[in-house]
A and B are shown apart, each in its own frame.
Chain A
Amino acid sequence: AQKVTQAQTEISVVEKEDVTLDCVYETRDTTYYLFWYKQPPSGELVFLIRRNSFDEQNEISGRYSWNFQKSTSSFNFTITASQVVDSAVYFCALSEANFGNEKLTFGTGTRLTIIP
C-alpha cells in the first residue's frame, strides 16, 4: 500500500527565512509520480509540481525548489526567502504510474505560517 508521511504538522518562520517541508513516501511501484499542492486559507488546491520517479533532478521554480531522493524515499520542498503569501497548508502526494488514472495518496499536510 502507498503511504505519504508529512511529519511536520505545523511550521512557523519569520518572513524572509528559508523553510523546508519534508515528505517521505512508501510505494512498491517502480514507476510513480510525486506531487506538491498548496492550499491557501481560501481553501482551493493549487498545483505546484509533479515529478516522475525516473527523474531525480532537483527542480527550481523561482523561490521554490524540490529535492527528490529515491534512496531515502523523500521529496522535500524548500521555500527560499519566505513571504506572507506563502502561508498555507502544503500537501505532498503520490500516485501509481497508471497514466490517466491518477489516484493520489495524500499526506496529512503541513501548515506553514509566515510571520511578518
Chain B
Amino acid sequence: NAGVTQTPKFQVLKTGQSMTLQCAQDMNHEYMSWYRQDPGMGLRLIHYSVGAGITDQGEVPNGYNVSRSTTEDFPLRLLSAAPSQTSVYFCASTHGAGVTVVSGELFFGEGSRLTVL
C-alpha cells in the first residue's frame, strides 16, 4: 500500500511565487489534514477536511488554500510564497466518523521540505 503520498519532497521557491503541494491517499480515508513543522514548535495544523467538498481552517491557515474535490486528494496551495512559509509540510489522513478504528492512527506522509528565498 502506498498510504499517504506527498509530492514534491523538496522545493525551493522565490518570494511571491506560487506552488501546490500534492497529497494523495489510497486508504479511502475521509479525513485529511495539513501540518507544518518548524524548529522548536512541533507540528501545527494548517487546514483540514472531513470529506470531499468540505474544508476548514486549522491553527495557522493564513497564506494557504486547500480544496477537496475527491476523497483521495487534498492539495495545499501557496498563492504568494513568503520566507515565513519555509517549513516542512506533512499531510495526514484517517478514517471518518462512524468507522471502527482499532489503533486510531493518524497516517502521515513523508513530508515536503519547502524553502522560500
Contacts and interface: CB of A to CB of B under 8 A. Distances in A.
Interface of A: 4, 33, 35, 37, 43-45, 47, 50, 91, 93, 98-109
Contacts of B103: 47, 50
Given A43-B88, A47-B106, A108 B40 contact: yes
Interface residues of B, number: 31
Q: Which 8 A-B pairs have the closest CB atoms?
A: A100-B97, A106-B42, A50-B104, A100-B96, A45-B108, A47-B105, A106-B43, A108-B42
B42 A109 contact: yes
Interface string B52-83: 00000011000000000000000000000000
B44 A100 contact: no
Contacts of B88: 43
A99 B40 contact: no
Nearest to A101: B50
B43 A104 contact: yes
Given A100-B96, A102-B94, 4 more contacts: A37-B108, A44-B111, A47-B106, A106-B35
B106 A100 contact: no
A99 to B, nearest CB: 5
A5 to B, nearest CB: 10
A43 B110 contact: yes
B58 A103 contact: yes
A108 B37 CA distance: 10
Contacts of B107: 47
Contacts of A4: 42
A99 B99 CA distance: 9
Contact of A102 (B31, B59, B110, B111): B31
A106 B31 contact: no
